[in-house]
Amino acid sequence: MHSFANQGRLGLWSSRAQRIILNSIAGAFWLPAGWRIVLFRLAGVVVGDKVLVFSGCTFRDTNVVLCDRAFVNFECMFDANQTIVLGPGVSVGARVIFAATTHELGPSSHRAGDERSEPIVVDEGTWIGSGAIIMPGVTIGRGCVIAAGAVVTSDCVPDTMYAGVPARPIRSLDPS
């Protein structure tokens, strides 16, 4: 995949300043796409070549890697308390949520227990439909299709279409 350990992160910026750059300035609808990428890199997001990210995307942190030719549509959310990697040629529909953080199940007096974060990896060529939710610790294999509105709670094998809540394999796809 991609080496991303603190690559692009400027030590001069606080995490608050990084979030302001990402969520207030870079996410603005009026900002040209090229400038958005420059601001992402400045804030510490690792961005490859020929990446396109539309406006309205929000970031909890900068632990995001957008590899070459990644495409991210409007209003996606990166809950990047752990690393989120979108591999080369990944296409993401509007309003997709990458939720790298969740909570352990707590007692009845407070069901949202301790916070737990795990990385998310989306491998090369995958297409994620609008409104899908990708949960912590998930790896989506190369060349998958995730249907609009699907909730992915476990790993996905390469070249397979997934749909539903929770997402289940619907059919195999031709790898060529």
122 phi, psi to nearest 5 deg: -115, 115
Domain spans of the chain? Answer: 15-102+110-168
Cβ(160)–Cβ(175) below 8 Å: no
Contact residues for 49 (Cβ-Cβ < 8 A; gap 6+): 68, 69
Structure tokens at 17: 């300043």
pLDDT at 107: 92
CA–CA gap between residue 113 and residue 75 (Å, rounded): 28
pLDDT at 30: 92
* Ranges of the chain with pLDDT below 70: 1-13
Q: What is the pTM of this model?
A: 0.89
pLDDT at 10: 46
pLDDT at 13: 58
Reply yes or no on whether 110 is catalytic.
no
**Count, residues in the chain:** 176
In Å, how far are 17, 21, 46 from 42, measured between CA atoms? 11, 8, 9
Structure tokens at 42: 């400045």
How many C-beta neighbours within 10 Å does residue 20 have? Answer: 14
pLDDT at 20: 84
CA–CA gap between residue 52 and residue 69 (Å, rounded): 7
Active-site residue, from 1, 28, 103, 155? 103
Per DSSP, 56 falls in state: T
Q: Which residues of 37-63 are buried (b: 16+ CB within 10 A; e: fewer)?
A: bebbbbbbbbbbeebebbebbbbbbbb
Is 15-102+110-168 CATH 3.40.50.2300?
Answer: no
Tell how strand 101-105 and strand 112-117 pair up: antiparallel
User: What is the H or E stretch that residue 142 is in?
Assistant: none
